[in-house]
Amino acid sequence: MTDKVVLITGASRGIGAEAARAFAGAGAKVALLARTEDRIAELAGEIGAAAIAIPCDVSRYWEMQAAVDATLQAFGRIDVLVGNAGVIEPISHLAEVEPDDWGKVVDINLKGVFNGMRAVLPGMLDQGGGTILTISSGAAHGPVEGWSHYCASKAGAYMLTRSADMEYRDRGIRVMGLSPGTVATQMQREIKASGINPVSQLDWSDHIPPDWPARALVWMCGAGADGWLGQDVSLRDPDVRAQVGLS
């Protein structure tokens, strides 16, 4: 990844923060996007000159476009977009959830993915290629109690992944999703606190560390992952874990 430029949404914690460290460790320059300005500023300071912090609400297209413009001004290009920003609260049954709160999850998890793709694609097409990685989930492919907003938004993001691959693969754009399974992040603490479904009953030791999906995202930027273009890469698959070098 030497001298490649990677833009990461939701970079303030969890998978996003670990991805920033992994890509920087592989030689990339990283643009860190999140609503929490102090956290990404601290992470950028940790990484050094190869990182910039850009406050951004991905649910607002104009903010996403401004973040892309700032990255281009700082680094000259964008080679990889990691559409990681996502939320799951409020976990609630359909008959009880507040409609506005339900919609905000879709705004971040689905519209945020679209906004990122829409903002980076023109530049990637002009430069002849690029990689777009989304964070998917088993919830994209099957319902989970209390997660109607999360399942619906992740299913929509999966279809965006497939659509972008269909439209732009022949123009050098590589698009894939990563389905990491359950990861030891703050989101899992929120899930556990809800107590609603079997996922909330998992022991903390059942979750994989966040550096595993981070390392997988770096691997997905290479030719070894080309067999998954337009699809989800699942870290539950032992063959994928072996290729990434996880154990």
Per-residue model confidence as pLDDT tens for the chain (247 residues): 899 999 999 999 889 999 999 999 999 999 999 998 899 999 999 999 999 999 999 999 999 999 999 999 999 999 999 999 998 888 889 999 999 999 999 999 999 999 999 999 999 999 999 999 999 988 888 888 888 999 999 999 999 999 999 999 999 999 999 988 666 566 556 766 766 666 665 554 556 677 889 999 999 999 999 999 999 998 888 998 899 898 7
Residue whose structure tokens are 């990563």:
178
What is the second-level CATH architecture of the domain 5-244?
A: 3-Layer(aba) Sandwich (3.40)
Tell me how long the chain is. Answer: 247
DSSP 85: -
Residue 28 neighbours by CB distance under 10 Å: 23
Residue-wise pLDDT tens digits, 125-162:
999 999 999 999 888 888 888 889 999 999 999 999 99
Output Rg (C-alpha) for the chain, integer angstroms. Answer: 17
pLDDT at 212: 86
| Distance in angstroms (rounded) separating the CA atoms of residues 61 and 241 | 35
- Distance of alpha carbon 213 from alpha carbon 217, whole angstroms: 6
Q: What is the pLDDT of residue 139?
A: 82
| Active-site option among 61, 150, 158, 168 | 150
| The pLDDT value given to residue 182 | 62
User: pLDDT value at position 92?
Assistant: 87
Q: What is the pLDDT of residue 208?
A: 67
Annotation says 150 is catalytic: yes
DSSP assignment string, 11-27? TTSHHHHHHHHHHHHTT
Domain map of the chain by residue range? 5-244
